[in-house]
């Protein structure tokens, strides 16, 4: 592949000598977004500076292949390098395109952009239980960055490791684009039929983003990938645009691009355990780090999974495929340093594990060659995903079984942010490791740190380890029970606490309800002192007496000495007077005001419709009407003002249904 490539370069240079090392005008960059070129270096030390000016595409001995925008191109010229402009890898004519989903599913053509969108929507529509579409964001030119999320129970976020494939963030590296579409289709159509696929879909949450830079891929329009470009529409290399462990948040000096932000959002909203990012222009699995020379704590494991990917490809491909560098694998920095790459961002900032898979030496592969590349890589695609089923895995919870986001550190092993976190929503975690015996430390805010020793990890196995963390602070006041008993017009509240810390006491709050009124505001009716601090069971009682008939709601407001408080649950009770009662007025004799109390029971049969309480003189003349209306069941007290009447004996009569009672009273002025 490479020999062929060089020969073609020489041929083109013979005919295009005028392009040799010349300045390019602004119009060139407006039309082309970027320029592709090569030049020689004397020493690898020069790369440090070159790397910050242009996008190094690959390094072959002392030959640098690079892309640049106008500024970078002029800067590198000014440094005195003799640049040879190369045909742009995306400028390939006669690329087979199709807008028809049926013909695209022969997998030997590129989809139009509209067909791509339609296909992603169809996956979700045709397999609603297995696939949902996530729109991660919009590109500079308004295209979508889609993920197909594939899992059993795909609408639930289960405690399963999250896995991600993404491709074509360099828009002209298109092989992975079609292969990822085909992989989505393969997973969906083979679920429940192929054991390996079913196992993956059942036990992982799989995120696949076929194209992370559709503006670059469709630079010349939605109907063709001919003329595809590496950069996004702002002429930014997206794989130099991420925060970098060594060079900071903006290693390329550019603002984060919309495409970068979309990928960062997806990473931060999820907890991906493992991912891979497909590129082209070489054939090699590239593992971290790209930005510095020191090795990742999981270097052995990274080499193992990379080697396995390449070996499986070799067993399924023509000889000579995927054999760059160490027969198809390389440490990123050992090949050539890049900064701002997504691999290091995910591996460092997101604590994930990501490799970069350069899947075809030819960036814009012809449609006819796509099926062969699928066959070369298909087994490796699935095998690589299976890595997220192995290692130490389980769920971190508190003592009540609630999920806890905890940091899991492999003792005497982790550094450079290789510790991982359990998922905040499910508590699920996965720590992939090379075979060995490990000791883990689990830490989380508000919980005691836990160490677990002698955890055995072997190849292609999961060591299941659920972890329960114990709170390191007493729960301020923990209610064990809160109940109410009703006994003829009195409510007895009883509650028990298991632990108390700094507890001043309990304010008892009551709300009165009746059938006409909705729940009223709670009002304080009493206070019971707490125990301060206690770890023993404590029992409390409060009696609310002399209640009118009705419905009541109670709650406890537990108040700390520092004034903070929290409420218990609410309990509701109903009280009834035992029977009709009319009481003797008080005071009696009176001048001129007295009070009369009476009770009305709940109307079980509805056989009375109203209550009347009237006052008569001794001749039977009605002199006052105190009550004449339908009343709720309950106890009542009414004030009778006799200032208009003269001294003497009066009668008062209560009538409610069949209940009639009369008392005498004496007014003395």
Report CA 244 to chain centroid distance, whole Å: 23
CB of 468 to Zn ion, least distance (A): 44
User: Which range in 165-173, 372-380, 397-405, 417-425 contacts Zn ion by CB under 5 A?
Assistant: 165-173
Q: Which residue lies nearer to Zn ion by CB, 186 or 363? A: 363
Q: Shortest CA distance to 130 belongs to which of 210, 204, 195?
A: 204
The total of other beta-carbon atoms located within 10 Å of residue 229's CB is 26
| CB closer to Zn ion, 170 vs 337 | 170
Q: How far apart are the first and last CA of the chain?
A: 123
Shortest distance (Å) from residue 282 CB to Zn ion: 9
Cα–Cα–Cα angle for 640, 645, 651, rounded to 5 degrees: 60
Q: 66 to each of 177, 288, 520, how far by Cα in Å? A: 22, 21, 74
C-alpha span between 113 and 457 (Å, rounded): 45
Q: Is 58 in the site for Zn ion (CB under 5 A)?
A: no
Q: Fill in the per-residue mask, 569 to 598: x = in contact with Zn ion (CB under 5 A), - = not in contact.
A: ------------------------------
Supply the DSSP symbol for 603.
-
> Judged by CB, which is closer to Zn ion: 89, or 505?
89
Please name the residue ranges forming H helices in 132-271. 175-190, 195-203, 214-217, 258-269
CA 646 to chain centroid, in Å, comes to: 81
Within 7-46, which residues bind Zn ion (CB under 5 A)? none
DSSP assignments along 308-364, one per residue: HHHHHHHHTS-TTTT-HHHHTEEEHHHH---SS-HHHIIIIIS---EEEEEEESSSS
Instruction: Name the closest residue to Zn ion (Cβ).
Output: 279
In whole angstroms, how close is the CB of 239 to Zn ion at the nearest point? 6
Residues 114-143 that bind Zn ion (CB under 5 A): none
CB under 5 A: which stretch of 41-49, 58-66, 163-171, 258-266 binds Zn ion?
Answer: 163-171
CB of 347 vs Zn ion, minimal distance in Å: 17
Residue 240 as a binder of Zn ion (CB under 5 A): the answer is no
By CB under 5 A, how many residues form the interface with Zn ion? 3
DSSP element (H, E) containing 375: helix 370-386
Query: CB-wise, 170 or 635, nearer to Zn ion?
Result: 170
Please report how close the Cβ of residue 241 comes to Zn ion at its closest, in angstroms: 13
Which residue has 């000598």 as its token pair?
Answer: 17
The active-site residue, picked from 70, 354, 358, 655, is 358
**Residue showing tokens 């292949």:** 65
Binding residue (CB under 5 A) for Zn ion from 58, 88, 143, 170: 170
| Residues between 274 and 303 with contacts to Zn ion, criterion CB under 5 A | 279
Q: How far is the CB of 279 from Zn ion (least distance, A)?
A: 3
Contact criterion met (CB below 8 Å) for 162 and 387: no
Q: Which is nearer to Zn ion, 170 or 510 (CB)?
A: 170
- Asked if 496 and 540 touch (Cβ cutoff 8 Å), the reply is yes
Compare residues 161 and 341 and give the one whose CB is closer to Zn ion: 341
CB nearer Zn ion, residue 279 or residue 296? 279
Footprint of Zn ion on residues 306-335 (CB under 5 A)?
none
* Token pair in block for residue 273: 């355990």
CB atoms within 10 A of CB 140: 16
CB of residue 244 vs Zn ion: minimum separation in angstroms?
A: 16
Active site annotation includes 655: no
Closer CB to Zn ion, residue 242 or residue 542?
242
Q: DSSP readout, 241-255?
A: -S-BTTTBS-TTSSP
Of the candidate spans 37-45, 271-279, 378-386, 659-667, the one that interacts with Zn ion by CB under 5 A turns out to be 271-279
The nearest distance, CB 142 to Zn ion, in angstroms, is 23
Closest CA to 636 of 627, 624, 645, 648: 627
* Chain center to CA of 651: 76
Instruction: Return the H-helix or E-strand segment holding 397.
Output: strand 391-397
Where on the chain is the footprint of Zn ion (CB under 5 A)? 170, 173, 279
User: Would you name the residues annotated as active-site residues?
Assistant: 358
């Amino acid at each position: 592949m490479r020999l062929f490539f060089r020969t073609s370069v020489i041929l083109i240079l013979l005919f295009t000598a005028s392009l040799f090392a010349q300045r390019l005008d602004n119009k060139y960059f407006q039309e082309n977004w970027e320029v592709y070129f090569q030049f020689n270096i004397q020493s690898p030390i020069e790369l440090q500076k070159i790397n910050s000016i242009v996008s190094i595409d690959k390094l072959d001995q002392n030959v640098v292949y690079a892309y640049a925008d106008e500024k970078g191109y002029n800067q590198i010229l000014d440094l005195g390098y003799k640049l040879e402009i190369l045909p742009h890898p995306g400028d390939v004519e006669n690329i087979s395109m199709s807008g028809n989903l049926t013909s695209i599913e022969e997998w030997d053509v590129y989809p139009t952009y509209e067909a791509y969108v339609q296909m992603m929507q169809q996956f979700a529509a045709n397999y609603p239980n297995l696939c949902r579409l996530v729109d991660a964001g919009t590109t500079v030119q308004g295209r979508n960055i889609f993920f197909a999320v594939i899992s059993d129970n795909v609408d639930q976020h289960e405690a399963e490791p999250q896995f991600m494939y993404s491709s074509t963030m360099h828009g002209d590296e298109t092989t992975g684009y079609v292969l990822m579409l085909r992989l989505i289709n393969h997973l969906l159509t083979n679920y429940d039929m192929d054991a390996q696929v079913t196992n993956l879909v059942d036990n992982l949450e799989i995120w696949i983003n076929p194209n992370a830079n559709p503006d670059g891929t469709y630079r010349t329009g939605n109907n063709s990938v001919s003329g595809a470009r590496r950069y996004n529409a702002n002429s930014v290399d997206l794989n130099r645009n991420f925060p970098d462990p060594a060079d900071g948040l903006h290693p390329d000096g550019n603002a984060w691009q919309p495409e970068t932000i979309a990928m960062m959002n997806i990473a931060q909203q999820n907890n991906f355990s493992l991912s891979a990012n497909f590129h082209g222009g070489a054939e090699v699995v590239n593992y971290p780090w790209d930005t510095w020379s020191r090795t990742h704590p999981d270097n052995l494991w990274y080499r193992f999974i990379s080697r396995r990917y390449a070996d499986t490809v070799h067993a399924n491909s023509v000889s000579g495929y995927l054999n760059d560098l160490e027969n198809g694998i390389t440490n990123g920095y050992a090949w050539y340093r890049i900064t701002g790459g997504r691999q290091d961002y995910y591996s460092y900032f997101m604590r994930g594990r990501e490799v970069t898979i350069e899947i075809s030496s030819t960036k814009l592969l012809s449609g006819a060659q796509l099926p062969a590349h699928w066959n070369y890589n298909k087994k490796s695609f699935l095998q690589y995903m299976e890595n997220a089923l192995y290692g130490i895995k389980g769920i971190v919870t508190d003592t009540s079984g609630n999920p806890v986001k905890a940091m899991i550190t492999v003792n005497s092993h982790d550094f450079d942010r290789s510790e991982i976190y359990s998922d905040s929503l499910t508590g699920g975690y996965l720590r992939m490791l090379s075979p060995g015996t490990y000791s883990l430390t689990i830490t989380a805010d508000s919980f005691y740190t836990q160490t677990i020793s002698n955890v055995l990890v072997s190849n292609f196995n999961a060591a299941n380890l659920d972890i329960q963390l114990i709170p390191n602070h007493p729960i301020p006041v923990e209610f064990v029970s809160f109940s109410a008993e009703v006994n003829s017009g009195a409510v007895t509240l009883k509650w028990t606490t298991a632990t108390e810390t700094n507890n001043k006491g309990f304010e008892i709050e009551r709300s009165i309800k009746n059938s006409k009124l909705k729940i009223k505001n709670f009002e304080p009716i009493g206070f019971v002192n707490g125990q301060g601090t206690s770890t023993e069971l404590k029992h409390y009682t409060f009696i609310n007496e002399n209640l009118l008939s009705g419905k009541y709601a109670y709650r406890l407001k537990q108040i700390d000495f520092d004034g903070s408080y929290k409420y218990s649950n609410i309990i509701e009770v109903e009280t009834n007077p035992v029977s009709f009662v009319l009481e003797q007025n008080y005071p009696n004799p009176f001048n001129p005001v007295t009070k009369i109390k009476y009770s009305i029971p709940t109307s079980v049969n509805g056989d009375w419709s109203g209550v009347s309480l009237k006052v008569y003189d001794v001749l039977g003349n009605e002199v006052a009407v105190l009550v004449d209306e339908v009343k709720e069941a309950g106890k009542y007290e009414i004030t009778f003002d006799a200032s208009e009447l003269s001294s003497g004996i009066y009668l008062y009569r209560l009538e409610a249904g069949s209940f009639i009672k009369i008392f005498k009273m004496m007014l003395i002025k």
